[in-house]
Amino acid sequence: MSNQAPLQASPPRALRWALAGSVIVMIAAGGLFYYASTMAAAKRLANHDEVLVTIHPHSCEPNALTVPAGHASFRIVNRSDRAVEWEILDGVLVIEERENIAPGLSQVINANLAPGDYSITCGLLSNPRGTLHVTPTAASDAAAKARPSMVAFVGPLSEFRVYLNSQGSALIKAVTALQQAIESGDLSQAQALYVPARTAYQRVAPAAQRLAQLDNAINARADYFEKREQDPGFTGFHRIEYALFEQRDLSGMAPVAQRLLTDVRTLKQQLLAQSLPPEQLVSIMVRNLNGIADVRAGSGEEERYSHSDLNGFAANLDATRKVVDLLRPLLSKSAAGLLGKIDTALYAFDAELNAFKVGDGYASYDSVSAEQRNQIADKAKALATALDEIDPALGLSGLSAEDVNR
């Protein structure tokens, strides 16, 4: 008898196909990995000048930075458990900021920085502030020497001051009415008066957001406090909004409303006391519109309890239109083509918002679809991009506050 082992049967066809498929998948996976690695490397190369800052729950890393004057990009990575903000401050004034950076994600802040020392905020308002040292360069020295005459900007800046004065008075009047309704315990009346008061604030918000500490008292969201809505430091509009529309209870709100009234009175004084360099007349509007495009339009986080976001967007647009009108004579002479582009973007954003008009106000933001929110964001971004061309057209690129005040 033969001891030769029997011949093995050939693998079934299904098994052969499975083996072939596994090889194909491995090849494809390798290709995708190579492609992803190549793209990541290209992105790192393109962003090699970005300064990386990581926000942890109670600190930033690093929290002391040094960069050369001029354009700087900061990639802010949020490793905390809540949406946070990161700001560059010159004294009490906000130079640049990024709000509502979602947990686990990152955003880039681009800033044009003059030489000097700045502060940086990091996440929670209770977190320690950091430092940012900006060193002079040959380019920054040349830009300071090449600054244009400020005579042409005296008129627009004076008129904007008049605007802030009138809108500041309107804000105080609206908050006074809200405070009185809360004081009397009239919930329905207070709910009705919240949106007009909030809208009045949004007409000065682009300028108010320069005043970091005061704006935080008036406008900070619950996420920026350790205990969120239950934190004793959570005050201002959004604390009242939470009581009116989420809790539907005015208990303990009288002192909060009184403090808000005091703060908006102080805000008006500070807005009129602070000098505004001409290039910041536009940049504060650009920053505000980018905030709508990048954060507020998509998430609806700004008015999360009342869903009155659209009223705020329209008020922000009113302020932007005012600035464009103030600069219109200058732009007509030196950048008529740009002015047409800006007017087109203004009209498009206005038309987008008008589609949601309901009586004297706007639809509740929770009724706005994701696609519609994206369209609002796109129109806000397009307007911000158009406005961003104004400073170069008027010779204001690279001009610092110190240059203007010399």
**Once rounded to an integer, what is the mean pLDDT over residues 294-319?**
91
What is the CATH topology of the domain spanning 51-135?
Immunoglobulin-like (2.60.40)
d(CA 406, CA 404): 6
The residue among 381 and 27 whose pLDDT is bigger is 381
The CATH class given to the 277-392 domain equals mainly alpha
Percent of the chain with pLDDT over 70: 83
User: Largest Cα–Cα distance of the chain, in whole Å?
Assistant: 115
d(CA 325, CA 321): 6
Tens-digit pLDDT profile for residues 15-64: 555 555 554 444 444 444 334 333 333 343 344 579 999 989 888 899 89
Burial class (CB in 10 A: 0-12, 13-18, 19+), 43: exposed
d(CA 124, CA 160): 32
What's the pLDDT band for 142 if we cut at 50, 70, 90? low
Q: Do domains 51-135 and 152-276 have the same CATH topology?
A: no
Find the angle CA(204)-CA(205)-CA(208) to the nearest 5 degrees. 90
d(CA 104, CA 347): 36
Q: 227-236 b/e with 16+ CB inside 10 Å = b?
A: eebebeebbb
pLDDT at 345 over 80: yes
Burial class (CB in 10 A: 0-12, 13-18, 19+), 343: middle
State whether residue 116 is helix, strand or coil.
Answer: strand
CATH of domain 152-276: 1.20.1420.20
What's the pLDDT band for 12 if we cut at 50, 70, 90? low
What's the pLDDT band for 246 if we cut at 50, 70, 90? very high
pLDDT confidence of residue 301:
77
The residue among 377 and 3 whose pLDDT is bigger is 377
pLDDT confidence of residue 298:
79
Cα 185 from chain centroid (whole Å): 34
Residue ranges covered by each domain of the chain: 51-135, 152-276, 277-392
Tens-digit pLDDT profile for residues 83-133: 888 888 887 678 788 877 888 888 888 888 888 899 888 877 788 888 999
CA dihedral 393, 394, 395, 398 (to 10 degrees): -90
